[in-house]
Amino acid sequence: MPKQHSTEQYQQLRTVSAVALRSCVRTAGYQGHTAGLACGCLQANIIILPESHALDFMRFCQRNPKPCPLVGVSETGDPILHTLGEDIDIRTDVPVYNVYRQGSLSESVTDIKKLWQQDHVAFAMGCSFTFEDALTKAGISVWHIEHNKTVPMYRSSIMTRSAGPFGGEMVVTMRAIDKNRVDEAIAISKQYPLAHGGPVHIGDSAAIGLHDLSSPEWGDSPPPVGDKVPVFWACGVTPQNALMRAKLPLFLSHKPGHMLVTDIDDQAEVPMYSAP
């Protein structure tokens, strides 16, 4: 079972590089969430599945670019993500992985070397943690970062466009934004299309099927919205939801909130990594 990380350890890692952070993750020295870490570097959601379903999954990403902004794909059977950074081993460099069997969460682990198969393909999709750095730099409060929590994630009533066996509801993240900063938050996040871009919904959560924001399906429960405005962005847990519905015998993902940190500049319009 993954261990709990300490607030002190998290604060220490906020100043290290992406390479140093991945090194700490690889040795199981850090197993916590990655919000607010390696600022300036693109973070990625991860899905690993058999090659037999890889083309349908790629179509699903292409048809749903908001929740699934594809930034990298491995070669079949090759666990090294050559295009996303220096020596990224997808089997070890994510803080915590979720293992799904027949569509249900089986276990969470910190290393998937024993689970990796020669027909596996790894997909990396951009993450909203990337634009959160820009929000905080602009002085917009982001509750879960300020309190060392994981962003709340909800299964909405917004439907994705299906591809093969993959489809279902879009998962969204929520951040409560001060009323006078909402337009600014929208404008900032729109600058990051590889990190889900602008919001998919603003305001009344019931309009997208969410009736109790205190009980997210993933992440930590947020405080009451109060006089702030709930703003919802597409979430990279959406493909996990789609694969769970498809009930594949086995697929692997990151644990929500525990991302792969890449060496890609989060300002890049197209992912491109060049070794120094």
Please state the three-class secondary structure of 112-150 as a single string: CCCCCCCCEEEEEEECCHHHHHHHHHCCCCCHHHHCCCC
What confidence tens digit (pLDDT) does each residue in 169-207 have?
Answer: 999 999 999 999 999 999 999 998 888 999 999 999 999
Distance CA 125, CA 105 (A): 20
Q: How confident is the model at residue 168 (pLDDT cuts 50, 70, 90)?
A: very high
Strand, helix or coil at 7? helix
Contact between 192 and 69 under an 8 Å Cβ cutoff? The reply is no
Average pLDDT (230-237) is 95
What is the C-alpha separation between 2 and 260, in angstroms, rounded?
A: 16
Where does residue 142 fall: left (phi above 0), alpha (psi -120 to 50 degrees), or beta otherwise? beta
Res 257: pLDDT: 86
Which pTM value belongs to this model?
0.88
pLDDT tens digits along 104-155: 999 999 999 999 999 999 999 998 877 888 899 899 999 988 888 889 999 9
The answer to whether residues 97 and 79 touch, using CB atoms and an 8 Å cutoff, is: no
Q: Output the six-digit token pair for 211.
A: 């009736």
Decide: 95 and 228 in contact? Cβ < 8 Å. Answer: no
pLDDT at 28: 81
Residue 4 pLDDT greater than 60, yes or no? no
User: In the chain, what are the domains?
Assistant: 7-128+247-265 (3.40.1640.10), 129-238 (3.30.2040.10)
- How is residue 179 written in tokens? 């009323």
- Average pLDDT of the chain to the nearest whole number: 91
User: Average pLDDT for residues 236-240, to the nearest whole number?
Assistant: 91
What confidence score (pLDDT) does residue 5 get? Answer: 60
Least Cα distance to 92 among 232, 273, 261, 269 occurs for: 261
